[in-house]
Structure 1
Amino acid sequence: MELLTYTVEEVAAMLGTARSATYEAVREGRIPAVRMGRRWLIPRERFHAWLNGAAVDKAA
């Protein structure tokens, strides 16, 4: 079964950013995420939609 979410650590690795910078982006709402207790989880579909939108914005 494929997971529906990524962890902040997984997203940081995919983006090639520091974990602390990724947490900051999540807390500021720049990366779509949901809080589950003490953990932040990034929904896969929302993350990929955000990533595709960010790539389009940079190309413009």
Structure 2
Amino acid sequence: MTEAPKTLSVPEAGAKYFGLSRNGSYAAAGRGEIPTIKLGKKLLRVPVQALEDMLSAASKRSVA
């Protein structure tokens, strides 16, 4: 059984979770709307757990 990845690229996360384009994904990440971690000087990755926690918290706020 293959384990799900713990991080995604910014474009992958933007497309999968928000239906965003590559440029839209990087813009959202730059505004802090998509959580990222920086590896080295350039590589940005999106921690899946942090993104899902953020979405869960947002959905709980919108219901309350």
Superposition TM-score, scaled by structure 1 size = 0.76
Equivalent residue pairs, number: 60
Residue equivalent to 1:41: 45
Show the 5 A alignment for 1:10-21: 10-14=12-16, 15-21=18-24
Residue equivalent to 2:56: 52
Show the 5 A alignment for 1:20-35: 20-35=23-38
Structure having the higher Rg: 2
- Please list every run of 5 or more consecutive structure 2 residues that lacks an aligned counterpart in the other structure: none
How far residue 2 of structure 1 moved from its aligned partner, in angstroms, is 3.3
- Please list every run of 5 or more consecutive structure 1 residues that lacks an aligned counterpart in the other structure: none
CA displacement, residues 7-26 of structure 1 (integer Å, 9 cap, x when unaligned): 11211221211111111111
Identity of aligned residues (%): 27
Give RMSD over aligned pairs.
Answer: 1.7
Counterpart Cα distance in 2 of 1:55 and 1:19: 24
Q: What amino acid sits opposite 1:21 in the alignment? A: G
CA displacement, residues 3-59 of structure 1 (integer Å, 9 cap, x when unaligned): 211111211221211111111111121211111121110111001011222334444
